[in-house]
Amino acid sequence: MLVAFGAIAVLAFVAASVAGAASPRDPAPKAPAEAQARPAASDLIDHRFRPLAGKTEVHLGKTYGGKVLLVVNTASKCGFTPQFDALESLHARLAPRGFAVLGFPSGDFAGQEFAGEEEIREFCRLTYGVKFPMFQKVSVVGDAAVPFYRGLAAASGQPPKWNFHKYLIGRDGKVAAVFGSRTAPDAPEVLAAIERALAAPAP
């Protein structure tokens, strides 16, 4: 009887050991929190905005997916406001190749934007002849930043530091380059980055 009991105990021990070997003792390692927070490329432009002083929202992904985009936070009363000229020229010249400038007015930096969207729209049209897409006034930094700009900051590691900060988004929906306010939209490095993005195949 003792022999039989011992044999049963040995078999139970072996079965438990095999089961333990088949199942991992620790859960699979998780990606770092920063990587988990980083938005997927396909989600980066999955946002809706009203056109400036408009009512019907535009879905960025459906409207501009597969295009090369230069996203700029604009302001009407900034020392960099004359960049509107180069932005409009870029948009007009390269739009036929699948390029677009997207402007997002913001008063986050020194309150250098008009309060009303009608006033912003009239200023952009009458002063600089802006025809590229301009969207509703938004916050682009801090806790009040809209999800689109939080995603851009997370994907690039660079939130806007001032007005006319520029994010270049490739056809694949990923941030291809970032340029600060002092870099003109038609600077050689910006033009070169846009050409590389335009040359890339659509996903």
167-185: pLDDT as tens digits? 999 999 999 999 999 999 9
Q: Is the pLDDT of residue 32 over 90?
A: no
Does the structure show a pLDDT above 60 at 71?
Answer: yes
Q: What percent of the chain has pLDDT over 90?
A: 77
Across residues 62-87, what is the average pLDDT?
A: 97
CA distance 128 to 87: 10
pLDDT higher than threshold 50 for residue 88: yes
Whether the pLDDT of residue 187 is over 50: the answer is yes
By CB atoms closer than 10 A (0-12, 13-18, 19+), residue 106 is buried
| CB-based contact 92:131 (threshold 8 Å) | yes
Q: What angle do CA 181, 70, 198 make, to 5 degrees?
A: 130
Is pLDDT larger for residue 167 or for residue 14?
Answer: 167
pLDDT at 40: 55
Strands 58-59 and 68-74: unpaired
Q: What is the overall mean pLDDT for the chain? A: 86
Question: How much is the pLDDT for 203?
Answer: 79
> What average pLDDT does this structure show over 47-75?
97
Instruction: Assign 201 a pLDDT band (cuts: 50, 70, 90).
Output: confident
Q: pLDDT by residue (tens digit) across 154-167?
A: 999 999 999 999 99
Phi, psi of 151 (to 5 degrees): -65, -40
Its pTM stands at 0.80
Measured N-to-C along each axis, helices 117-128 and 83-94 cross at an angle, to the nearest 10 degrees, of 80
Q: What is the pLDDT of residue 202?
A: 78
Q: 96 pLDDT exceeds 70?
A: yes
pLDDT at 33 over 60: no
Q: Of 41, 58, 78, 187, which residue is the catalytic one?
A: 78
Q: Is 124 marked active-site?
A: no
Q: What is the mean pLDDT of residues 145-161?
A: 97
